[in-house]
Structure formats: structure tokens, C-alpha cells
Amino acid sequence: MSLQQSDIEKVAHLARLGIDPADMPEHIKNLSSILDLVDQMNAVDTESVMPMAHPVDTAQRLRPDEVTETDQREQFQAIAPQVEAGLYLVPKVME
């Protein structure tokens, strides 16, 4: 399957990735070949196989409902670009 430049631009935008136009042909080629591999796998009859949700074939371990974390706001906010009144400040987003 061969991807268009617009496909790459769309997924890059959704992932908020900036792409150097010079690298575009390379990305088109690599991502298209990954989809070729998917096509190849799609051709295999998997009718009787239960899909895996994870490469490790085991179940989720559950944690008891206990509060184990203490307040470490000072440390976390020390590495934040901007904070005020205990809040993390970010560029304005409005509905």
C-alpha cells in the first residue's frame, strides 16, 4: 500500500510532530512498507485465533485500593516551565 504525502502530514499533525520536508520521501517509503507488511499478515487465515491485546500472554495484576502516594507538588513544579497558586500554567486553550 502506498501512502500519499497528505496522509503523512495528517498523522504527523494528529501526533503533533513536525516533519522536515526533506525527510518526507523517506517517511512515505518507510510507513508504506510497514503497511505492506500489515497487508501480508492480513492474508493469513486467523479465523480460529483469539486476537492478543498484548505481546505478553498473561492477565493484568490488580492493585489494592490504597493511597500510597504523598504530596510531592514542590518537586514536580520545580521542573515545570510556569506555575502559579499551585497550578501548572499553559498557553490559553478556550472552548
Residue 42 as a binder of other proteins (CB under 8 A): the answer is no
Kindly tell me which of 22 and 62 has the beta carbon lying closer to other proteins. 62
Contacts of 5 (CB under 8 A, 6+ apart): 24, 28
Q: Residue 56 has which C-alpha cell? A: 505478553
Q: Is 6 in the site for other proteins (CB under 8 A)?
A: no
User: Is 92 exposed, middle or buried, given 0-12, 13-18 or 19+ CB atoms closer than 10 A?
Assistant: exposed
Is residue 49 within the footprint of other proteins (CB under 8 A)?
no
Binding site for other proteins (CB under 8 A): 14-16, 53-56, 58-69, 71-73, 76-77, 82, 84-95
